[in-house]
A and B are shown apart, each in its own frame.
Chain A
Amino acid sequence: MYNFDVEKPTSIADAVKALSRDEAQPLSGGQTLIPTLKARLAMPSVLVSLSGISEMRGVRLADDGRLCIGGGTVHRTVAQEAETHYPGLASLAARIGDPAVRNRGTIGGSVANNDPSACYPAGVLASGATIVTNSREIEADNFFQGMFSTALEEGEIVTEVKFPIPEKARYEKFIQPASRFPLVAAFVAKFNDGVRVAVTGASENGVFRWTEAETALSADFSAKALEGLKLDGGSMISDLHGSGTYRAHLVGVMTKRAVLGLI
C-alpha cells in the first residue's frame, strides 16, 4: 500500500469536511477498500474513517413503516436486528462473506462500491429502497448505474438506507465458493401492489431488475409463471467461473427457488 493519512471524524458533518481534502476517500469496514489499496488500484492521500460516527449506525423502524439502516451498520448487526422486521433482508446480510467480513463490512460501503456480484445491491433494488446521503435522497432505481458505478458524487457519503418492507421476500444466493460472493443471486420481494425482482452477479451492467419476471409474478405469484422466460446470455458476465449462458440460466433457477420458498 502507498501511505496515507487517516482521519477519524465523529459526525457526518466533520466527515464531509474531511472528505473535501484533496485525494480523500471514505473508509468503512475496509473489507473491499483495504485489499484494493494493497493491490495499488487506488492511491488516496487521506482515508476518512466513518466507523467512529455513531449517528450512522443502527437499525430502526421509522414511523412510516420503513426499516432504516445507518450507512455504517455492519452486516452482522443487520442480520441480527432486521430479523423481526424484515427477515428476507436479515438473511441476505447473514450470508455475506464470512463471520469476520460481517463483523466489519457495512451496508454503506457495499452499496457505494456496487460490485457487480455484491449481495446488498440486489436487496436494495428489489425492495425499492431509498439511499440517503449527507446531501439528498436517491431512489434505488436511479442509484445503481452499472458495474462499480453509482449516482454518488465525489465526497458524498451514504448515511442511511430506507427499506419499504414487503409482504414477503427471499434472497437466493448461488455461492462462488472461492470468493464467497454470489456467482448469481436473485432477490424477490412481493408487495401488495406487485413483485420486484433484482439480480446480482449476472449482468455486465451490474445489478438489474428482471422486469419480465416481475410482470409475470405480479400477475401470478407461482413458479409456473416463470416458465418460458429467458434472459440473453450475451449481455451476462462470462469468466472462468461460468459462461454468460450458464449465468442467464442460473438467474431463472435462483428466481424460481426464491418464489418456491415463498409459497
Chain B
Amino acid sequence: MTQVKMTVNGKAASGDVEGRTLLASFLRENLGLTGTHIGCDTSQCGACLVHVNGEAIKACTMLAVEAEGADVKTIESMANADGSLNVLQQAFQDHHGLQCGFCTPGMIMSASALLKDNPKPTEAEVRHYLDGNICRCTGYHNIVKAIMAASGQDVSALAAE
C-alpha cells in the first residue's frame, strides 16, 4: 500500500491505495464520492470523467497514485455554494438533457471542460467534443441543446432531429 494525497473538490484528501487502484475507485470507495460513475470500465464511455488539474480525464483509466498532488474536481463540486444546481446542471434539467442519468455526471464534467476552453461553441463543436461520452437514453440532441443553452446561446432554432 502507498499513501496518496491530493486535493479533491477543494479539500485535502488522502488514503492508502494499491498500485492498481484506479482514480475512479479511490474517489468512489475511499472518499465515498459516488457521483463519478463507472460505466464501461474500458475507457470508452466517459461516465467516469473528472477534471485533473483542470483537464478532462477518464478516472477509470488513471491510477490513483498518478494523481498524487493533483487538483481533482468531480461532479460533487459542481452545484452552487447554496446547493442549487449550477447553470449547466440547470440547463440539463430545463432541456431534458437526461433520462436515466447514468451518463450525466460525465456529460456535465465534459461539457464544463469544453465551455472553459470554448465559451460559445457551435453545435458541431459540442458534438465533436462529446465523442468520448456515451448516452444510451437521450439520443444526444437534448444534451447538445442544454450545453448550448448553458453557454448563453439561443437554442429555440435547434430542432429535434
Contact = CB atoms under 8 A, between A and B. Distances in A.
Are chains A and B native binding partners rather than an unrelated pairing? yes
Interface of A: 1-6, 8, 27, 30-31, 34-35, 37-38, 47, 49, 51, 76, 97-101, 103-104, 180
Interface in B57-91: 57-58, 61-63, 65-66, 68
Majority SS at the chain A contact face: mixed
Given A35-B61, A49-B66, A99-B113, A180 B19 contact: no
B18 A31 contact: no
Given A5-B19, A103-B55, A31 B43 contact: yes
Contact of A34 (B63, B68, B133): B63
B129 A6 contact: no
B66 A99 contact: no
A99 B131 contact: yes
A100 B57 contact: yes
**Ordered nearest first, which 10 A-B pairs have the shortest CB separation?**
A98-B132, A98-B131, A6-B19, A1-B20, A103-B55, A100-B56, A100-B58, A4-B19, A34-B61, A3-B20
A48 B58 CA distance: 20
Interface string B109-134: 01001100000000000000101110
A221 B131 CA distance: 34
Given A2-B20, A98-B132, A100-B132, A38 B57 contact: no
Contacts of A5: 19
A47 B43 CA distance: 19
A241 to B, nearest CB: 15
B97 interface: no
Given A30-B62, A34-B43, A103-B56, A3 B19 contact: yes
Prevailing SS type, chain B contact patch: mixed
Interface of B: 2, 18-20, 22, 41-43, 46, 49, 55-58, 61-63, 65-66, 68, 110, 113-114, 129, 131-133
A99 B129 contact: yes
Contacts of A47: 19, 63
Contacts of B62: 30, 34, 104
Contact of A30 (B19, B63, B113, B131): B63
A3 B68 CA distance: 18
A30 B61 contact: yes
A139 B22 CA distance: 36
A103 B61 CA distance: 12
Given A1-B20, A6-B65, A99 B56 contact: yes
Contacts of A99: 56, 110, 113-114, 129, 131-132
Contact of A100 (B41, B42, B49, B66): B49
B46 A104 contact: no
Contacts of B43: 31, 34-35, 101
Given A1-B20, A49-B66, A38 B113 contact: no
28 contacts: A2-B20, A3-B19, A3-B20, A4-B19, A6-B2, A6-B63, A6-B65, A6-B66, A8-B65, A8-B68, A30-B66, A31-B43, A31-B61, A34-B62, A35-B42, A38-B41, A49-B66, A97-B131, A98-B132, A99-B114, A99-B131, A100-B46, A100-B132, A101-B43, A101-B132, A103-B56, A104-B61, A180-B131
A122 B2 CA distance: 40
Contacts of B49: 100
Nearest to A37: B20
Given A34-B43, A37-B20, A101-B43, A51 B131 contact: no
Given A4-B20, A49-B63, A99-B114, 5 more contacts: A49-B66, A100-B58, A100-B110, A100-B132, A101-B58
Contacts of A76: 55
A59 to B, nearest CB: 17
Given A3-B20, A30-B63, A104 B42 contact: no
A153 B102 CA distance: 44
